[in-house]
Structure 1
Amino acid sequence: MIALYRPGTGILHRAPAGVKLAALAVGALVLSLYPHNAVSIAVSLGVVLALYGIAAMPIRVPVLEIWRLRGIIVLLAAALVIFVSPLAAWISTGRVVAILLLASLLTLTTRMADLVEVLQRTLRPLPRFGLDPTAVALTISLTITTIPVIAGFAERVRDAARARGVRLGVRAAVPLLVLTLRHADDVGDALAARGLG
């Protein structure tokens, strides 16, 4: 799950968006391609959590992010334990959690406008291929900001079901889909009102 920007004055908040985006890309590549063992994954997760501390985020912020990822974590870990090994489950799940926490930290410490500006500069060669860099950057930023919104909708659906003492199971997809489509309509109307739709 990816969180939304939180104002702050720490070193990570002040760092240029391009540097943070590049650091995320390098971090994700290292975590994905480097052959890890149980200790290096623990160290990687420790480093990521330390970055949250450097960003002056309380420990509950990454803990909440991990809690929101619990479905992915449990499913991935269980599948790997069953079909591969507990060690593979720890390494692969740790990699995914570390990368998602890094992405979340980027959005927590970077204004979306700054991120869009960096993406537009990075995507400047796209017109040669018939693509509009502004539209692509806007699409990426909308995707990033929509992830926590949909996660919030899922939480609301779960809370409402719990309050009524009902277990929705797969049926929870219906109210979640309705809320998501309503949000998409609202975003579309807002973009159209600004001449971007």
Structure 2
Amino acid sequence: MVTLYRPGDGPWHRLRPGRKTALLLLLVLGICLLPATWWAAGVMAGVCLACYAIPGAGMRELGRQLVATRWMVGVTLIGQLIFLGPESAAANTTRVAVACALAALLALTTPATELLETFERAMGPLTWLRLDPRRVALTLALTLSTLPVLANLARDVREAQRARGGGRSLRHFAMPFLVMALKHADELGDALTARGVR
């Protein structure tokens, strides 16, 4: 499984995976409950900066995560500006960017195996609903790993376009990106099937 994990010994790395997941989940829920105002956008950005300012994460890593999600953030901002005012668009776009950055912080400071075990333990009560906690945990872990994979694929397509002297046409970007994303999905499906996951 592709992972964002970066080894380290900072406070985020030392925090137990279950507590770290709960803390970051509460922060994301908190920013989701804030109103769509300028001051709320500032609070959200401040929370994100404070989380990455803790040793072991760093502003450089935050910058990498924001660059990786720039297309999603850009599309969100444009859509919000079309249907809502600038204040709501700024707040909602900040909300999306901060939520992605906090999810990435969890993946950056927790090994994939520990993350999977944490999700599996948390999903234990789902057995009452006749759901398999291991499958749900695997789905969540794969979801967390999808964003960096897609970001890397987008970067590869852009670099190939530049190497061939291509422009920045969205049409010329979308088709190869879609083909590579579907190929990755097929390979991931084959790998899961080979391991007995259906």
TM-score by length of 1: 0.87
Partner of 2:63: 63
Equivalent pairs counted in the alignment come to 196
Residue identity opposite 2:187 in structure 1: D
Distance 1:75 1:150 in 2: 15
Partner of 2:179: 178
Q: How does 1:11-160 map to 2 (within 5 A)?
A: 11-35=11-35, 37-160=37-160
CA contact (8 A) 2:6 2:109 kept: yes
Per-residue CA deviation, residues 149-185 of structure 1 (Å, 9 max, x unaligned), is 1221111011101211224523433322332233233
Give the unaligned 5+ runs of structure 1.
none
179-188 or 117-126, larger mean C-alpha shift: 179-188
Residue identity opposite 1:169 in structure 2: L
Per-residue CA deviation, residues 9-62 of structure 1 (Å, 9 max, x unaligned), is 011111111112112221121111123532342133122112112142332211
Give the unaligned 5+ runs of structure 2.
none
Structure 1 vs Structure 2: percent identity of aligned residues? 41
Distance 2:80 2:187 in 1: 40
Deviation at 1:102, TM superposition (A): 0.8
Distance 2:158 2:145 in 1: 21
SS in 2 for 1:96: helix
Deviation at 1:109, TM superposition (A): 0.8
CA contact (8 A) 1:17 1:118 kept: yes
SS in 1 for 2:139: helix
* Aligned-CA RMSD value: 2.3
TM-score by length of 2: 0.86
SS in 1 for 2:81: helix
Per-residue CA deviation, residues 40-92 of structure 1 (Å, 9 max, x unaligned), is 42133122112112142332211122122222323332333343322222211
CA contact (8 A) 1:13 1:55 kept: no
Distance 2:128 2:115 in 1: 22
